[in-house]
Amino acid sequence: MDHPTHTTWSWLAAATRGIRFGPDRETVRSELYGHLEDKIADLRRLHPDWTRGEIERMALSQMGDPDEIGRALARLHRPWLGYLWRVSRWASAAAAVLLALTLLTSGLPDWWRDWQWTLEENQRVQAISQALYEDGTPSWEGERLALYAPEAEARLGRCTISVDRAALWREPDGDQLYLELRLTFDRPWERGERPLYQMRAEDEQGEPLSRENGWTYRGLETGFSWVAANWVLPVEGEPPDRLTVRYFPGVDWALTVDLTREVRT
Amino acid sequence: MRHKWKALWARRPRLSRKWKLARNLLFLALSAVLILDLLDWPRLTLYGSFQKLEAAYLLTPSELVYRVDREGGTAAFLTRGESWYTLGAVHTMDEGGETLTRHSPFLTHILPADQLQVALFPIQGREGETVAVAVGLPEGAAAARLELTLEDIPLPWRYEVSEVSSLRRVSVVSSEQFTAEGEPLEEGGMIFLFPDHEDAHPDDQLCALEAVYQDTNFWEAPPPLPCRLTVWDAQGRELLTWEGTTAEDAGLFPY
């Protein structure tokens, strides 16, 4: 491809002036120049006795009015899309570098191991939950005495706390009441198990049911935006008809769990 | 073989600019989520880190009521939740803390809004001032006075183990009383500021309140201290006189 002459250059500049995104302007300009060269080659074959200047002027006049073409091209090539695309390229490159650095410093293996561990733990807890509330086989010594469907639910902060299933078990240590306590977070990134350990249960008389030495549970399952634990509450004698779950003493919040809705199995 | 690969590469499907843009934006979004998750969703400000811990303990939404700053990237916060106040602080650590910010938040108190309690902020301010809050005040409370009486406060351990003999000769004032008038808060409750008065003591004597703070772990509030609170209404009538101790530390951490 020859270099464009001054006349051609002026025509191309006028036709592409309206395209504000630089890379697009360059592409369109070279495309138009390609067309022009084809036209010049055809004219040269048809009129071998014409001078280069005559051929060029004829070719340019056949191409059309550069200002009109320029206006049409400017409408076609929206600059913001081009700029956005260019920014996205730089941002993607920066993100790739940042991601690599974060993986190197924060430790991809740990992240992967934690994820694997969560998957395995969830499987183990699902087996426990099946034994506790469904027809699974327990891996511990004990016999289920009753199964309840309390379907209790209450909001606390940006979280929904619920107890859908409960079961009374007779175990060598005594009778134990299991509550499937589930915390579903509105914001998945705020998901965590810390609130579970602050929960306290009391019977209808306001007597605490939780163990004195802290929070006891059999298995803790984690999902995308929720955590669920099988909370173990020791029961002496008959289980209460209703129990109340409370949080920090300063927080005016309560979840009432109705244990009168027994499920026949 | 090389030409084959080149030809194959040349024949790969070409995306239009719009689709390239969509692909890049998707990559950016996924990278951002992954980076933030790897960094445990960091908050860049001290208050942001405090709020993150509040949220982890389901103590949000809440509003900032009072803030005490200290040099070295440390601040204490008092926030008001639905039926409670939360008090705690955030330190910027040299090592440890959150991956990106090195923030180490902790909550010292969760105080019922309707129950009378007095709590000391876990850090002293820039000017060495000590801050306390009283919540659950009787209706109509317009003014209050808080008195702290400190007796037989032990010498902070760092003085006892110091190799500098002049430090070992330092003693703590055996009995000292601190009084502050309350500043009512819009959200209820009152704030009390006990200004630093270290200059009032000779060089070999340590202020009792200073000794308490120096002996408190940086992630805790001072231990319960005897205090007396008097509350008046707008007409100057005494509404309440209460004697007790400042609230105990709740010890809530991000781990």
pLDDT in the model for residue A220? 93
Residue % of chain A over a pLDDT of 90 = 55
Question: A90 to chain B, minimum CA–CA distance in Å?
Answer: 10
Q: Which residue of B has its CA nearest to A198?
A: B57
B82 touches chain A (CB under 8 A): yes
| Partner-chain residue, chosen from B60, B112, B252, that has the shortest CB–CB distance to A158 | B60
Contact check, Cβ <8 Å, B84/A250: yes
Alpha-carbon distance of B64 to B170, in angstroms, equals 39
pLDDT in the model for residue A4? 65
User: Is pLDDT of A95 > 90?
Assistant: yes
Q: Which residue of B has its CA nearest to A104?
A: B38
User: Is pLDDT of A5 > 80?
Assistant: no
Residues of chain B with pLDDT under 70: 165-168, 255
B37 touches chain A (CB under 8 A): yes
Could you say which DSSP state residue A205 is in? T
pLDDT in the model for residue A20? 81
Buried b (16+ CB within 10 A) or exposed e, A130-154: ebbbeeeebeeebeeebbbebebee
Question: A58 to chain B, minimum CA–CA distance in Å?
Answer: 35
pLDDT in the model for residue B169? 77
Which chain A residues are closer than 8 Å to B136 by Cβ? none
- Mean residue pLDDT of chain A comes to 89
Contact check, Cβ <8 Å, A105/B25: no
Question: B85 to chain A, minimum CA–CA distance in Å?
Answer: 8
Which chain A residues are closer than 8 Å to B78 by Cβ? none
Question: A147 to chain B, minimum CA–CA distance in Å?
Answer: 30
pLDDT in the model for residue A125? 95
Alpha helical stretches, state H, B104-163: 157-160
- By the 10 Å C-beta count (0-12 exposed, 13-18 middle, 19+ buried), B231 is classed as buried
- Residue contacts between A and B (CB atoms, under 8 Å): 97
Tokens linked to A157: 């902060």
CATH number of A122-258, picked from 1.10.3470, 1.10.1200, 2.60.40, 2.60.120: 2.60.40
What is the spatial order of strands in the sheet that B74-80 belongs to?
B63-70, B74-80, B84-92, B103-112
Buried b (16+ CB within 10 A) or exposed e, A110-119: eeeeeeeeee
Question: Best mutation site among B20, B58, B100 for testing chain A: the one with the most A CBs within 10 Å?
Answer: B58
Longest dimension (CA), chain A: 117
Contact check, Cβ <8 Å, A250/B55: no
Report the run of H or E that residue A15 belongs to, with start and end. Answer: helix A6-16
Which chain B residues are closer than 8 Å to A156 by Cβ? 58
Give the model confidence (pLDDT) of A103-146 as tens digits.
888 777 777 888 899 999 999 999 999 999 999 999 999 999 99
CB within 8 Å of chain A, chain B residues 140-169:
none
Confidence of residue A213 (pLDDT cuts 50, 70, 90): low
Give the model confidence (pLDDT) of A9-25 as tens digits.
888 998 898 888 888 88
User: Is pLDDT of A2 > 60?
Assistant: no
pLDDT in the model for residue A229? 96
Torsion of CA A92, A98, A100, A103, to 10 degrees: -130
Contact check, Cβ <8 Å, B27/A247: no
Q: Which residue of A has its CA nearest to B113?
A: A250
User: Is pLDDT of A148 > 60?
Assistant: yes
pLDDT in the model for residue B167? 66
At A164, the amino acid letter reads: D
- By the 10 Å C-beta count (0-12 exposed, 13-18 middle, 19+ buried), B153 is classed as buried
Could you say which DSSP state residue B115 is in? S
Nearest alpha carbon to residue A173 among A202, A133, A211: A211
Question: B2 to chain A, minimum CA–CA distance in Å?
Answer: 28
State how far Cα A26 lies from the chain centre: 39
Whole-number Cα distances in Å, A2 to A31, A36, A42, B242: 14, 11, 15, 97
Question: Best mutation site among A102, A181, A198, A227 for testing chain B: the one with the most B CBs within 10 Å?
Answer: A102
- Range A19-41 average pLDDT: 88
Domain edges within chain A:
6-102, 122-258
Contact check, Cβ <8 Å, B115/A250: yes
Give the model confidence (pLDDT) of B208-249 as tens digits.
999 999 999 989 999 999 999 999 999 999 999 999 999 999
pLDDT in the model for residue A3? 59
Question: B58 to chain A, minimum CA–CA distance in Å?
Answer: 5
Which chain A residues are closer than 8 Å to B80 by Cβ? none
Whole-number Cα distances in Å, B14 to A91, B10, B19, B242: 21, 9, 10, 78
Which chain A residues are closer than 8 Å to B107 by Cβ? none
Domain edges within chain B:
1-38, 43-245
Partnered with residue B175 across adjacent β-strands are: B151
Question: A262 to chain B, minimum CA–CA distance in Å?
Answer: 31
Which chain B residues are closer than 8 Å to A198 by Cβ? 57
Contact check, Cβ <8 Å, A198/B57: yes
